[in-house]
Amino acid sequence: MENQDKSAQKTSPREEGTAANQLAQSIGDFFTGIAQTFDYLAHWAVGKEEQRNGHGTASGMLAVMVSVIIGIVVGTIHGGWWLPQILIGIITFIGCLLLFRIMTSKAVGSLILQDLAFLFSLPTKILVWSAGADYKTLRWLETNRAKNKEDHSKRIPEIIKYEGLGMSMFVPATLGFLSFGYLVSSVFGVSGKSILLMGIVWATIIFIIDRTLVIGMKRGVNGKYSAKTMMMRFLLAMCIGVVITVPIELKVFEQEIAEHQNWERTEYFKTLDESLETDLAKVDTKIEAERSRVDELYDAYQVEVNTSIGGRKPGHGPEAKIKLANWQAAKTEFETRHLPEFKREKGELELSYANQKNNFTQNQSKGIGSQLEALHAAGQRHSSILAAHIVLFLFFLFLELIPVLVKWFMPPGPYEFHLQSLEAAEKAQSEDIMLQQQYENDLHNAERAAKREKWEDEKESVKDQYWRKERRNALLKEVKELQDRVSGLSSTKTDKAIKASLDKQIQSRLDELGSL
């Protein structure tokens, strides 16, 4: 058995795909699982789950749609909180499907036993699927080991291992649901069913990403994971963990954040009150200065009326009337212009400081950034809050890393060896296919080369025949011209010499024609 394990570990697995391809594959598996579940329910509702052909039956699909509609209607009619509505809708949906199944079945007792067995095995199937494993393959491996009577005392069953891994997949998704629900309710003010819907969507996204990370973790030829691959997956999981952890931390330290914000608000308001008192005192100083100026004019008038100045007798003389008019004008100006201006200035100051207080309070109560700053500042003021903050952050970060850690520390078993052997067989098969395709391509190329060579030979032969024909015609033309010249010569000695030369040329042309 050890030799088989070693040989299985030495098989070269296929190279991992890119992260984008793995994410797309995981999303595709998720929606494929939903479609398969719907198809199974369509057959199950009419008692034909053993005859599944991937397309469902018309009556089964009708039963599922009717059950869904009845479940939605009953859940909506029931008032109250959203959780009881969802539970009542699900129970109604299951009850309608069971009623359809009983109505369309003949052996009700056997179907109920089958359904109970299916319901008991359904959580295990869901957990195994969440871990990225195949339930039927795991059961087949366990059945074969039981038939071979192998010792199970020193080995954890494969199904239990992948059940545990599947359970760990729901931990980050649950934390994501809770943290995102608190985030949208506290920051965006969303409430009711919208929180449930948005939380489910966010938890599904976290679940898909974590499942993609776990599925993509494969051991190398040495039975260990690649350090580079694990580092990238840990970094991605930590990023997700930070996103999930922050809203939960804010909820846990909600009281400490509120206390620090109250203290911060009190200190800020105290500073504003001191500044307001200073500014109001400046305005009061201006008021007192103006009032003192009016009082000085009144005192000058009283002195002029009641005492002798410069030989003038006391009383309302011309000088006293002038001082009286000056005092009355200054008093009127103070009461009608300066005093209202000063009061308006004091009111503007009070309103400005009140607006600053309101803005500070609103900015404190809203926004995740202000809450994080308050938590950080509270940690700096109190070391116990800082220590609790760090411990809690690391704890929730560890919870987010649980799926990757569980897969990392999970010892290799028959299922992984089986997958490696399948991958090795698929790789060998793909290599054989590639070799066959290469052979066919080479054979095709050779045939094309032979045809091309034959075509070139035929082309050269045609060209040679054409050239011979053209040459023959040219020689015949030359022979005829030479013969015409010979026939035109006389019997003189000179013409005889020329005739002999022309006869030789004619003979050479005839010899060449004979060779062609």
Q: Are residues 345 and 243 in the same domain?
A: no
pLDDT of residue 319: 76
Q: 216 and 285: one domain?
A: no
Phi-psi region of 315 (alpha: psi -120 to 50; beta: other; left: phi over 0): left
Same domain? 334 vs 281: yes
> What is the rounded CA–CA span in Å between residue 515 and residue 509?
10
| Segment 295-339, tens digit of pLDDT | 888 888 777 777 766 556 666 677 777 878 888 888 888 888 888
- In the block, tokens 């990238």 appear at 232
Confidence of residue 7 (pLDDT cuts 50, 70, 90): very low
Do 445 and 301 share a structural domain? no
Question: Domain check: are 55 and 7 in the same one?
Answer: yes
Quick one: pLDDT at residue 250? 78
Which residues are CB-neighbours of 116 under 8 A, at least 6 positions away?
Answer: none
In a domain, residue 382? The reply is no
Query: Whole-angstrom Cα distance, residue 183 to residue 245?
Result: 11
List helix spans (H) across 187-253.
Answer: 193-215, 227-252
State whether residue 309 is helix, strand or coil.
Answer: strand
Residues 59, 68: Cα–Cα separation, whole Å:
14
More confident residue, 476 or 191: 476
Is residue 339, in this structure, part of any structural domain at all? yes
Its pTM stands at 0.50
Provide the pLDDT confidence category of residue 459 given band limits of 50, 70 and 90: confident
How much is the pLDDT for 16? 44
Kindly state whether residues 484 and 414 are assigned to the same domain. Answer: no
pLDDT tens track for 125-160: 888 888 888 888 888 887 776 666 555 555 567 888
The pLDDT of residue 508 is above 70? yes
Structure-token pair, residue 8: 């299985």
Cβ atoms of residues 157 and 142 within 8 Å: yes
Q: How far apart are CA 151 and CA 135, in angstroms?
A: 22
Same domain, 201 and 297: no
Distances (CA, A) of 514 to 189, 464, 478, 500: 110, 16, 15, 21
pLDDT value of residue 9: 41
Q: What is the pLDDT of residues 22-39, one digit of tens each?
A: 666 767 777 777 777 777
84 and 63 assigned to the same domain: yes
Q: Which residues contact 186 (CB under 8 A, 6 or more apart)?
A: 247, 250, 368
**Is residue 269 one of the residues assigned to a domain?**
no
Q: Does residue 270 or residue 378 have the better pLDDT?
A: 270
**121 and 41 housed in the same domain:** yes
Contacts 24+ apart (CB under 8 A), 441-447: none
Residue-wise DSSP of 472-491: HHHHHHHHHHHHHHHHT--S
Query: Which is it for the CA torsion 150, 151, 155, 161, positive or negative?
Result: positive
- Residue 492 falls inside a structural domain: yes
Residue 457 confidence (pLDDT)? 75
Angle formed at CA 83 by CA 79 and CA 89, multiple of 5 degrees: 70
| Mean pLDDT confidence for 111-116 | 56
> What dihedral angle (degrees, nearest 10) is formed by the CA atoms of 51, 56, 60, 65?
160
User: What is the arithmetic mean of pLDDT over 106-120?
Assistant: 56
Give a yes or no: residue 272 inside a domain: no
211 plus 355 within the same structural domain: no
Query: 39-98 pLDDT, tens per residue?
Result: 777 777 666 554 444 444 566 677 777 777 887 777 777 655 666 777 777 888 778 777
Closest by CA position to 467, among listed 515, 516, 418 = 516
% of the chain with per-residue pLDDT over 70? 78
- Residue 295 sits in the same domain as residue 205: no
- CA dist 289 and 478 (Å) reads 140
Output b/e per residue, 73-85; b: 16+ Cβ within 10 A. Answer: ebbeeeeeeeeeb
When pLDDT is cut at 50, 70 and 90, the band that residue 511 belongs to is confident
Check residue 47 and give left, alpha or beta (phi > 0: left; psi -120 to 50: alpha).
left
Contact 175, 403 (CB under 8 A): no
Per-residue pLDDT of 349-366, as tens digits, reads 888 888 888 888 776 665
Q: Look up the domain containing 26 and give its range.
A: 2-256+389-422
- What are the phi and psi torsion angles at 487 (to 5°)? -65, -20
Query: Radius of gyration (Cα) for the chain, nearest Å?
Result: 51
Q: What is the mean pLDDT of residues 454-465?
A: 78
Domain count, the chain: 3
Residue 383 belongs to some domain of the structure = no
pLDDT of residue 151: 52
Question: Residue 368 half-sphere exposure, CB side, CA atoms within 13 Å?
Answer: 18
Residue 266 in domain:
no
Assess whether 66 and 101 both reside in one domain. Answer: yes
